[in-house]
């Protein structure tokens, strides 16, 4: 069993994403939290790994406008601020679990 495989990905409301993992763990992110850890090349410098986007600039009212599956390893999110280049691998989502941080 791969514990980093989601069984259920639920948009419980427009500003919240809940993931139920194969090992029974549950993770819940707000859209603003996801936007704040967005790993895309526009938010994080690919060479230095430095975050170019300031998470404190994210509105707490941000919502995710769209959630798409990417293969069987990630989800792609489009946020209400128009940002849509972030691909969030399942392993990344598990590693950045706000409840475990």
> Which residues of the chain form contacts with Zn ion (CB under 5 A)?
38, 40, 42-43, 86
- Measure the CA dihedral 35/36/40/43, to 10°: 120
Residue 43 Cβ vs Zn ion, minimum distance, rounded to whole Å:
3
- Between residues 9 and 44, which has the closer beta carbon with respect to Zn ion? 44
Dihedral sign computed on CA atoms, order 60, 95, 46, 11: negative
Of the pair 21, 37, the CB lying nearest Zn ion is at 37
Tokens of 49: 């790994």
How near is the Cβ of 14 to Zn ion at its closest, in Å?
Answer: 19
Nearest distance from residue 90's CB to Zn ion, in Å? 17
In whole angstroms, give the CA distance from residue 36 to residue 39. Answer: 9
Question: Cα angle at 86 between 94 and 90, to 5 degrees?
Answer: 20
């Amino acid at each position: 069993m791969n514990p980093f495989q989601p069984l259920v990905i639920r948009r419980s409301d427009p500003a919240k994403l809940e993931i139920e993992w194969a090992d029974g763990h549950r993770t819940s992110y707000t859209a603003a939290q996801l936007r704040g850890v967005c790993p895309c090349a526009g938010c994080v410098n690919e060479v230095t790994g430095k975050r170019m986007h300031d998470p404190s600039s994210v509105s707490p009212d941000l919502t995710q406008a769209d959630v798409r599956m990417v293969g069987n390893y990630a989800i792609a999110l489009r946020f209400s601020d128009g940002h849509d280049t972030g691909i969030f691998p399942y392993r990344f989502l598990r590693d950045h679990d706000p409840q475990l941080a």
